[in-house]
Chains A and B, each alone.
Chain A
Amino acid sequence: MEHGSLTDSKNSTFCLMDEDHTLANSVRFLLNKDPRVEFCGYSIPHPSENKVNIRVQTTGDSAKDVLKESFQDLIFLCQHVRSTFEKSVADFKSTQSRQEMNGA
């Protein structure tokens, strides 16, 4: 799951199994937006292996904690996207049905 040196917790490479660009690119975006992150990148070592390596280098915090928080932020973002989307759809449907009623 995780490799890197045992003594240096601020630089780590994480290997995620059964994941691809979908998750890796999203989390790389969030990690790069985190002020504690000095460097972050990901790579897929071989196209026919379902795994990604994510490299995280921080300015001092534990890379693992920073990565975990980024995933947590990604969940918050998704939850907000979902609730905003659902609200917009409900609003759109109600105005549509109101218009239909007025038209009929």
Chain B
Amino acid sequence: MSETASLNMQDIPQGQLPEHIELQRARVFCKADAPVHTEDVEYSGAYAAVGFDNSLQVDDFRRDFRVEIKNLSMDDIEFDMIGIDASLANAFRRILIAEVPTMAIEKVLIVNNTSVMADEILSHRLGLLPIEADPRLFDFLSENDTPNERNTIVFKMEVHCKKRGPRLTVKSDQLKWLPNGSELLMESPNPSTKPRSFTSFSCSQASLPQISGRPIGMKHLDIIITQLGPGQSIELEAHAVKGTGKVHAKWSPVGTTWYRMLPEVKLLKEVRGNDAEKLVKKCPRKVFDVEDVGHAMKKAVVSRPRDCTLCRECISGAGEENIALRRVRDHFIFTVESTGALPAEVLFTEAVKILEEKCERVISELS
């Protein structure tokens, strides 16, 4: 006796989804008033009734996943990630912003500050300066650690504006790296002992093999920190340590990083003649072009769907039914803008590594 499922209909082939359901699964629809079918169907058995397996096999992922680099410069990268779910793309984005470590000024020892800018505001501004130092070469400084050459970078700034001279603009190039550590001495309760400095470096950082090739300094030398009037001066020491963006945004390695799903613009009906011209004019991103089809006839074509911002200008008003605006659910246009400590492509691989480490930690805790 053969069993027949109640949903086993002759016109729906087993093992694949009907066209409109497949479209809902793979696309987000952008309608004139609001987007629809935005939610992803995650559950593995969601389409079991039509014999479609919605589970994720690691081998299938390996086969289908693609990365296409679109743009790569010193600090920026734009690439397409195809065949991945939003939850993972978002995890990479969140880790890039909040959990990839960098070095930033955390402690400022002010010897003298007669400028109009208060100490704490000056310190805050110093903290936000991007430092060109590979954070992978440094350790985190815990509460009980003493600052040493493995976890602290020391900068010194001594600027003075001459009396009866013009005002002086203090820029980030005034911060000088001290590879031997702090030059300021701690006050000691016992005057006979040798006074210690605020750091205890066992050797010069410049002599460390990992650092010697690339001296540490400011990423940008032209950032304005403050201005000094005639006779004013600043003398300070700034200690940079390793940290992550979730503690303070100054440690975030990216200016920002974001992704968007690939826009898909489809002409459902042929748009001809005057309507085609109108459609081209309507689009502020110049997504459409007019093509000659002979016999003095013109038709609209979609030539730059990637530029579409889904502003919905083309589906407002007349001709709305001719165009479908969608987003491809598993195609992400990912952009990373590095602040300069590490190149953008290295930041992304570091972010993926951090997610792996998180998993490893939980697995070991579960065992």
**Chain A residues in the interface with B (C-beta under 8 A):** 1-2, 14, 16, 19-23, 25-30, 32-35, 37, 64, 67-68, 71-82, 84-89, 91-93, 96
Contacts and interface: CB of A to CB of B under 8 A. Distances in A.
Chain A, interface SS category: helix
B358 to A, nearest CB: 5
A25 B65 contact: no
A97 to B, nearest CB: 11
Nearest to A39: B43
Contact of A22 (B62, B66, B94): B94
Contacts, number: 122
Contacts of B365: 1
Interface residues of B, number: 46
Contact of A64 (B68, B98, B355, B366): B366
Main secondary structure of the interface of B (DSSP, over half): helix
A32 to B, nearest CB: 4
B72 A84 contact: no
17 contacts: A14-B366, A19-B358, A23-B355, A28-B42, A29-B42, A29-B85, A29-B88, A37-B44, A72-B363, A75-B359, A78-B355, A78-B356, A80-B58, A81-B84, A81-B352, A85-B67, A88-B69
Contact of A28 (B54, B87, B94): B87
A2 B365 CA distance: 10
A77 to B, nearest CB: 6
Interface of B: 42-45, 53-56, 58, 61-62, 65-69, 72, 77, 79, 81, 84-85, 87-88, 90-92, 94-95, 98-99, 345, 348-349, 352-353, 355-356, 358-360, 362-363, 365-367
A85 to B, nearest CB: 5
A68 B362 CA distance: 8
Given A33-B44, A73-B58, A23 B66 contact: no
Nearest to A21: B94
B94 to A, nearest CB: 5
Given A68-B367, A88-B67, 4 more contacts: A14-B366, A34-B56, A35-B53, A88-B79
